[in-house]
Amino acid sequence: MRQTSQISKLTSLRAGFAAFSIFALIGISGVAIAADAAPMAPAAEAKATVPGKPKADAAAGEALYSSGDATRGVTACITCHGPKGQSAVGTWPKLSAQHAAYTTKQLKNFKDGSRANPVMMGMVATLTEQDMQNISAFLVKQPASEGVAQNKATIELGQSIYRGGIAAKGVPACAACHSPTGAGIPAQYPRLGGQWADYSYTQLIAFREGTRKNSNQMTIIATKLSDQEMKAVSDYMAGLH
């Protein structure tokens, strides 16, 4: 009986030890799993903190616009386009308050050659895309420059084209895309209100003749307009605000 009791105790001890070993192994396994999972956390964190596309810096844009960057051969825009983007003559467009996306697109087009202009192509040659976005971010914050329609004889014709188009020629109303006040639609259509009439007329001619090719829509429209109609609508737009 005593031997049987000892065997029973020994069996119980062995069973307890086995159970303890199982729990110990489970605990060790749990630590191992946790240790294996730990290195994954930094990877997930690194993925979450990958820097996105740099934001436009209006202050840096103002510095380039006003002073250029001699170390990179960047010429100041202010020389032609005036303080705050308000040029003095129609040879150079007013850029103040122009939608940033539109300005950036034009600068890119000058650089890739899809919009040809010997002066501007040279000016943008040393600009990076970030430079372009910075300059555009500065200009869009400047107050819009207002103008005045000069030709009283064509004001009604210009107004009619801008607000109603020319149905007989299939010319849509300019206001449909550039808004009734000429403010345009951000990221889609440029601001035209207050722009120099001479500049707007020159661009319409360029679209019609194919020397400016970076807008198929405007090329189609311009081919349907006469010189008189272009001049009338350009003058009318100069007075919009």
Separation of CA 166 from chain center: 32
Token pair, residue 185, equals 């639609």
Phi, psi of 54 (to 5 degrees): -55, 140
Q: Which residues of the chain have pLDDT under 70?
A: 1-53
pLDDT of residue 46: 42
pLDDT of residue 187: 87
Which residue shows structure tokens 């010429």?
75
pLDDT of residue 50: 47
Token pair, residue 38, equals 């730990």
Our CA dihedral for 107, 109, 111, 115, rounded to 10 degrees, sits at -110
pLDDT of residue 51: 56
pLDDT tens, residue by residue, 11-54: 443 444 343 333 333 333 333 323 333 344 444 444 444 456 67
pTM of structure: 0.78
Cβ proximity of 107 and 64 under 8 Å: no
pLDDT of residue 142: 98
Which residue shows structure tokens 């004001």?
155
pLDDT of residue 237: 98
Provide the terminal-to-terminal Cα distance of the chain, rounded to the nearest Å: 112
DSSP assignment of 155-206, as one string?
HHHHHHHHHH-BGGGTBPPTHHHH-TTS--BTTTB---TT--HHHHHHHHHH
Q: How many Å apart are CA 58 and CA 198, to the nearest integer?
A: 29
Q: Spell out the residues 6+ positions from residue 90 whose beta carbon is closer than 8 angstroms to its own.
A: 196, 197, 198, 199, 202
pLDDT of residue 135: 98
pLDDT of residue 43: 43
